[in-house]
Amino acid sequence: MVVIARRLAGHLARGVVMILVVATISFFIVRSIPGDPIAAHTQKLIEQGMAPEAAEQATRVLYGFQATGSLWEQYGDYVAGLLTFDLGQSVTHAGAPVTEVLGEAAKWTVLPVLAGTLLSFLVGIILGVYAAVKRSGKLGDVLAVSGSLLHGVPQYVLGLLLSAIFATLIPILPGDGPVDILYEPGFNAGYIGSLAEHAVLPVATYTLAAYGGWVLAMKSSVVTVLGDDFILAAELRGMKRSIVFRYIARNAILPLFTILALSLGLLLGGAVFIERIFNYPGLGLLLIESITMRDYALMGGAFLLITVSIIVANILADLFYSVIDPRVRSGEEVSA
The total domain count for the chain is 2
* Residue 64 or 312, more confident: 312
Count of other CB atoms within 10 angstroms of residue 186? 8
Asked if the structure places residue 280 within a domain, the reply is yes
Res 166: pLDDT? 92
pLDDT digits (tens, 9 = 90+) for 71-87: 787 788 888 888 888 88
pLDDT at 164 over 90: yes
* Residue 218 or 60, more confident: 218
Looking at the structure, tell me whether residues 121 and 242 fall in a common domain.
yes
CATH code of residue 246 = 1.10.3720.10
- Model pTM score: 0.76
Looking at the structure, tell me whether residues 68 and 147 fall in a common domain.
no
Per DSSP, 67 falls in state -
Backbone dihedral angles phi then psi of residue 89, each to the nearest 5 degrees: -120, 145
Q: Out of 62, 97, 132, pick the residue that ends a domain.
A: 97
Looking at the structure, tell me whether residues 91 and 119 fall in a common domain.
no
Res 315: pLDDT? 79
> In a 3-state reduction of DSSP, which class is residue 238?
coil
pLDDT digits (tens, 9 = 90+) for 301-318: 888 888 888 888 777 777
Q: Out of 74, 97, 120, pick the residue that ends a domain.
A: 97
pLDDT at 246 over 80: no
pLDDT at 284 over 50: yes
How would residue 239 be classed by pLDDT, with cut points 50, 70 and 90? low
**Secondary structure (DSSP) of 128-159:** HHHHHHTTTSHHHHHHHHHHHHHHTS-HHHHH
Asked if the structure places residue 245 within a domain, the reply is yes
Q: Out of 97, 130, 151, pick the residue that ends a domain.
A: 97
Identify the domain containing residue 257 by its residue range.
Answer: 99-323
**Dihedral angle, C-alpha 211, 214, 220, 224, nearest 10 °:** -150
Asked if the structure places residue 336 within a domain, the reply is no
Average the pLDDT over 84-94 and give the result.
79
pLDDT at 128 over 60: yes
